[in-house]
């Protein structure tokens, strides 16, 4: 929320998915540090007139617009206790996982011209090549045989809330060509699926395995084996320049845009209200699965192998450049310099640091 308010300034809020006549008024109290939550006092809900005199929190994912009355003389700027200064001119990033897509005409609906765009055609095969498997039949057996023969597979999990307090509904795999969507509500967590998740031979590529692992561990007594997390990979790439981990981890869509160049207009973006996350994620338990959720499930797994491959190239670019530097470092010296170098092999060339740092800066600039 990129707004500037004074403490006590009267505000009017409208929210998504509410009629035009419904709004809220209250007095500004504070923002959280990243300005994804605004706190008001003495809030009145219209048209009911219901009043909440204590503090009320509203999140960036639910607020459509804010209008403010002119501040009165003597009102003070809000000072954030963590930052130690006014947030009046801080641009707070919206949470990458919980966002409202400005390029979508209605919440949850893709752009109407999405599939007509030339850049959609480039990725259309990924979106359109998938199998939904809800029975242990020949299709199931063939899919398992294919996946067991892979060295690497993308894996994504969809469910209601997820974590130890949620419900796992789908386990989805991709071999890079076809996405296989396994309906866990119909199949259960079948032994064949478990064998791949526990396999030491098959590398599982996931994006943000934290809640998934929590769910599998506490509800299914299953620990994922031989995995690589592309969210962690992205953090390591970003850390190469900053020398510390960024505060925010990138959602899958952010990585697909940055590394694979998939347009925002092509990507489907999940919209989740932070205060209604349980209800919003219940869609994964509905049968049949809606077309939009089906396509989102495919998107969440279909690109993981390509993303991992691209990240490896990006991550090891400085190593490749440094190795090239090593090849030429002594061979390009004069005879006098080279003669002295026999006793200097234990020292790191100072130039190597700058060569690799410059390459890292170039990569991060490209990434951002």
pLDDT in tens, 108-134: 456 667 888 888 889 999 999 999 999
Confidence of residue 328 (pLDDT cuts 50, 70, 90): confident
Confidence of residue 366 (pLDDT cuts 50, 70, 90): low
The pLDDT-based confidence of 90 (bands split at 50, 70, 90) is: very low
Q: 84 pLDDT exceeds 70?
A: no
What percentage of residues in the chain have a pLDDT greater than 70? 79
pLDDT for residue 94 = 36
Instruction: List 15's β-bridge partners, or say none.
Output: 63
């Amino acid at each position: 929320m990129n707004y500037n308010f004074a403490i006590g300034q009267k505000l009017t809020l409208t929210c998504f998915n509410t009629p035009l006549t419904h709004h809220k008024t209250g007095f500004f109290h504070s923002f959280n540090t990243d300005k994804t939550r605004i706190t008001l006092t003495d809030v009145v809900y219209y048209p009911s007139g219901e009043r909440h005199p204590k503090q009320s929190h509203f999140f960036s994912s639910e607020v459509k617009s804010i209008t403010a009355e002119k501040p009165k003389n003597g009102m003070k700027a809000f000072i954030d206790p963590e930052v130690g200064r006014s947030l009046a001119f801080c641009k707070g990033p919206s949470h990458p996982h919980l966002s409202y897509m400005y390029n979508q005409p209605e919440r949850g609906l893709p752009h109407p011209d999405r599939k007509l765009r030339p850049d959609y055609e480039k990725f259309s095969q990924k979106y359109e090549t998938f199998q939904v498997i809800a029975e242990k039949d020949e299709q199931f057996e063939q899919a398992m045989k294919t996946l067991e023969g892979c060295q690497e597979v993308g894996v994504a999990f969809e469910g209601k809330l997820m974590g130890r307090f949620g419900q796992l509904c789908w386990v989805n795999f991709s071999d890079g060509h076809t996405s296989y969507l396994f309906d866990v509500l119909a199949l259960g967590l079948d032994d064949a699926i478990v064998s791949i998740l526990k396999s030491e031979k098959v590398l599982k590529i996931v994006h943000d395995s934290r809640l998934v692992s929590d769910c599998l561990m506490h509800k299914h007594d299953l620990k994922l084996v031989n995995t690589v997390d592309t969210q962690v990979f992205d953090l390591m790439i970003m850390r190469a320049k900053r020398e510390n981990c960024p505060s925010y981890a990138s959602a899958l869509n952010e990585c697909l845009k940055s590394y694979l160049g998939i347009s925002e207009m092509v990507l489907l973006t999940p919209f989740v209200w932070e205060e209604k996350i349980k209800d919003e994620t219940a869609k994964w338990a509905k049968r049949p699965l809606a077309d939009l959720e089906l396509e989102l499930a495919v998107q969440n797994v279909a690109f993981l192998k390509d993303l991992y491959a691209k990240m490896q190239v990006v991550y090891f670019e400085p190593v490749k450049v440094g190795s090239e530097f090593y090849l030429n470092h002594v061979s390009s010296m004069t005879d006098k310099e080279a003669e002295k170098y026999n006793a200097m092999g234990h020292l790191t060339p100072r130039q190597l640091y700058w060569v690799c740092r410059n390459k890292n800066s170039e990569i991060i600039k490209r990434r951002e």
